Chain A
Amino acid sequence: MSVVPHPPSFLPPPSPAGPSNPSRQTGTSSPRNFDVIASYRRALDNDNVAHPIAAIMALVELMEASTASTITGLASELTVGRRLLIDTQPSLGVRAGCQLWERFVATFRTDDLPDFPNYKKDLIDTGRLFCSVTAGQCREKIAALAVDFLRDDCVILTHSFSRTVIKTILRAHAQHKRVKVYVTEARPSCLGLRTHQILTEHQIPCEVILDSAVAYVMERVDMVLVGSEAVVESGGLVSSVGTYQVALVAKAMQKPFYALAESYKFLRHYPLSQTDLPLARLAPGASSDPPLTFPAIIPQAPTNRPSTTSTTAPGTPSKSAAGSIKEMSAEMIARNPMVDITTPDLIDFIITDLGAPLSPTSVSQYLVAQFSS
């Protein structure tokens, strides 16, 4: 779970983003003014809730609030809510969660409860149960599986922050395995520091390294353990930016690279390149270009976005007044990707709650078996 909590400034504020596109849709099929996004936010406030689960919780709440009296009506409301979430939320986990829930609703069968209120109640109960119990168990299962990969006295490199990875390391620690951890700083979110904080609290030797020092420490590392935001059909990982290069270095130095991913993060999408991701339209004004593409015309001003010309001025020189040391401005950082795709050939195993660790190719087999009918 190395989901990057996006800096608040890049997230669309719920009120303007909501009405902009989907207001006309909600007007037609969602009678009550239920705010899926606010519900999703609320769910995310709990620190232990992953993005897909938060999305499912939001959709379950939407179903609860819904006044539709037929299955079709409910389904169309659900579709509207799902679209809204997918279109506005940048996390790919949301997409995975929505896909999962939609698939679940589509295949949900009640044998003895044919009437609609009971059907709906059943559905909501199952959804809630899934979010509160099953989702929590997933991490435990993964940690139990993954801890066997950690030998005594081993050195682990992890990237950024992942609850599952931390859980696994803590479990190994509890089993009295001596574990040493290198964790990357993981700019720009700098969540590696959070990992460091948690691990040092538990007296696990932990060292924060620069993202640029990954290759330097790799020779001392026994294995790489990362979490993920989503697992795509090719068996690749979508996770916080930098994972791909960690994987490349690990492959070059022949260190095992293990990914931890809950099965609800499996996403039906097959990216062919780094830019081939279904990115949400963040703000109406944001360019649709993938991150870090050169502008077609070199701008006269530092950026050609009208809204930011004023904000760039204080951002660019940054803290260093001396001028000799420059830092990236918020504007520059915003043009960088938040996630990257780790290709399946670099991954040794994906450890999931489905049982035995999957090879990356088995992910597609699982998804084909689940989703195609």
Chain B
Amino acid sequence: MSTPEASTSTPRPPKPAKQAKPPSQSSSTGTGDAPKAKSAKELKKEKRAAAVASRGPVDDPSDPRSSTGPESATTNKNRPSGNSTTPASASHPTLSLPNSSQSRRPPILTSTSEYTVNTPQNLFFSHLPTHRPPQTPAALVSAKLPPLIVRLGVLMSSGTLRGANARTMATMAAFAEVVREYTCPDQAVLWKDLPVYLSPMIAFLEDCRPKGVGGGNAIRWLKGEINRLGELGDRTDAEQKEYLVEAIGVYIRDRIEYADKVIADNAKEKIKPGNTVVTYARSSVVERVILEAWRDMRSKDPSASFSVIVVDSRPLNEGKHLLSALKSAGVPCTYTLLPLLSAVLPGTNLVLLGASALHSDGALYSRAGTAVVAMLAKECRVPVMACVETYKFGERVVLDAVASNELGDAEALLDIPVKGLGLGKGGKDGVLPLSLTYDLTPPALITVVCTEIGFIPPSSVPTVLGKASGVA
């Protein structure tokens, strides 16, 4: 919520004190991007973007591309005013100057402000990243991001590309392509320059849609791999790139694709003939588990069968996609919405859940509504099985779904087909829409977690995490 304030000229009570600093700083240290970026970091308390964006210039200020590239691109808009600013002058231009070091900032600011004016947000959740359309032209023109990345960002932001696995795989595949196209400048070392080259892309993607724990783990792993190139040494750039591209491929294969296959193999054993399985929204792993269980059961005994209850909810209604996939496979399905779950849950045998992340205390971070499903299942004593790949295991302990979450599309939420409510353009008439994407299911409600290393209770997540970090 701090972003829109920056571009509007309305008085900003907390800002001026801080804004006085950047000019004085820049005057004392002379020129250079590093202080400016630092001040940008101070100004914006957004850890996500600032951390990534500022790392580039601070880490390697001498690097020609990372600092000058975005800088020169944004010069057209902001530099003139920024350069002409005296330390004592109006704070507004100086404020936008530090932003210019982060390539994508200026265009976003203007549009976000318009956007958020339309839909006021609940202040309680104001710290969460807002759902907003990506700044495609700016990213393409001013930040010179590869079209591939911009396209990915648009796909993720629009919801065309949904699901932690799909997003992570697409991101990693895109980065493999970027690494392949990348040429290291003459004076630079690849393992030092490449992270700097990638970070605006990572930041842009993060801005389109927060990457989540799984994506974060993948990108952290990628950075670790790039750093390891430095230790390996004595390789040509082409070899190093080759190595990275291959490693990314292996990561996608082992941590996601094979993991899903093993999870499906494990989990399908728990679906027995005559059972009724409940699932909520849509998860690619759960879909795979159900389809493989169906295929497996049918091949063993053509008369055996189980049925699936797909529980869904507004505004995303993702269950529809699962429903069509199951229907085309011939699995008997029931489709219902979350409010009716309590009516159908007794008498079922298993609740299958997907996840965006599994935190180290065993709490499941998944599509909003999952916690309700798990709670009801506990009440009805139906076992709850969460299918989670280990790359989605997060090292943090998260106590509620408020501290970290994602705001969904409020327009979609307010798109209620009732005349005369006057909610058409959202947020008017004092209505505060609240659309959170995820919620947190406490570990006590989860019977078992199905991972590629086998079935574990949620309490064993730290053991798995410890093992993984010990190996790597």
Residues of A within 8 A of B (CB): 233-235, 268, 270, 272-273, 275-276, 344, 361, 364-365, 368-369, 371-372
Contact = CB atoms under 8 A, between A and B. Distances in A.
B175 to A, nearest CB: 28
Contact of A364 (B272, B349, B383, B456): B456
Contact of B460 (A275, A276, A344, A361): A361
A272 B456 contact: no
A17 B448 CA distance: 35
B413 interface: no
B460 A272 contact: no
B453 interface: yes
B448 A368 contact: no
A5 B63 CA distance: 76
B97 to A, nearest CB: 52
A361 B459 contact: yes
B383 A273 contact: yes
A368 B447 contact: no
A172 to B, nearest CB: 32
Contacts of A371: 454
- Closest 7 pairs (CB-CB, A-B): A270-B455, A361-B459, A272-B383, A372-B453, A365-B463, A364-B460, A368-B463
Nearest to A371: B454
Interface size range on B against A = 10 to 19
Contact of B457 (A234, A268, A275, A372): A234
Contact of A272 (B270, B462, B463): B270
17 contacts: A233-B456, A234-B448, A234-B455, A268-B454, A270-B448, A270-B455, A273-B383, A276-B272, A361-B457, A364-B456, A364-B460, A365-B459, A365-B460, A365-B463, A368-B463, A369-B463, A371-B454
Contacts of B455: 233-234, 270
Contacts of A365: 459-460, 462-463
B365 to A, nearest CB: 20
Q: Which of A268, A275, A361, A372 has the most CB of B within 10 A?
A: A372
B285 interface: no
Given A233-B456, A276-B270, 18 more contacts: A233-B455, A234-B447, A235-B457, A268-B454, A270-B448, A272-B270, A272-B385, A275-B272, A344-B457, A364-B457, A364-B459, A364-B463, A365-B459, A368-B453, A368-B460, A368-B467, A372-B454, A372-B467
Contacts of A361: 457, 459-460
Contacts of A369: 463, 467
B322 interface: no
A11 B356 CA distance: 47
Binding site of B, secondary structure by majority: helix, strand, loop or mixed?
Answer: mixed
A234 B270 CA distance: 14
A234 B447 CA distance: 9
Contacts of B460: 361, 364-365, 368
Q: Which of B383, B456, B462 has the most CB of A within 10 A?
A: B456
A369 B459 CA distance: 13
A344 B448 CA distance: 12
Nearest to A365: B463
Contacts of B270: 272, 276
Q: Which of B448, B459, B460 has the most CB of A within 10 A?
A: B460
Contacts of B457: 233-235, 344, 361, 364
Interface string B428-472: 000000000000000000011000011111011011100100000
Interface string B200-229: 000000000000000000000000000000
A275 B273 CA distance: 13
B350 interface: yes
A272 B384 CA distance: 9
A217 to B, nearest CB: 27
Interface of B: 270, 272, 349-350, 383, 385, 447-448, 453-457, 459-460, 462-464, 467
Nearest to B350: A272
A363 B460 CA distance: 9
A272 B448 contact: yes
A338 B451 CA distance: 31
A365 B457 CA distance: 9
B85 to A, nearest CB: 59
Given A372-B454, A372-B467, A272 B447 contact: yes
A371 B460 CA distance: 13
B459 A233 contact: no
B258 to A, nearest CB: 14
Contacts of A233: 454-457
B298 to A, nearest CB: 17
Contacts of A364: 456-457, 459-460, 463
B225 to A, nearest CB: 22
A369 B456 CA distance: 11
A371 B463 CA distance: 12
Nearest to A268: B454
Nearest to B349: A273
A362 B455 CA distance: 14
Nearest to A233: B455
A270 B462 CA distance: 18
A100 B385 CA distance: 26
A365 B463 CA distance: 6
Contacts of B385: 272
B383 A368 contact: no
Nearest to A361: B459
A273 B349 CA distance: 9
A235 B458 CA distance: 12
Contacts of B464: 368, 372
Contacts of A368: 453-454, 456, 460, 463-464, 467
A106 to B, nearest CB: 16
Nearest to B471: A373
A32 to B, nearest CB: 33
Contacts of B272: 275-276
A268 B456 CA distance: 10
A368 B270 CA distance: 20
Contacts of B456: 233, 270, 364, 368
A368 B453 CA distance: 8
B347 to A, nearest CB: 13
Contacts of A234: 447-448, 455, 457
Contacts of B467: 368-369, 372
A372 B454 CA distance: 8
B374 to A, nearest CB: 14
Contacts of A273: 349, 383
A369 B467 CA distance: 7
Nearest to A360: B457
A275 to B, nearest CB: 8
A344 B349 CA distance: 19
Contacts of B383: 272-273
A244 B455 CA distance: 22
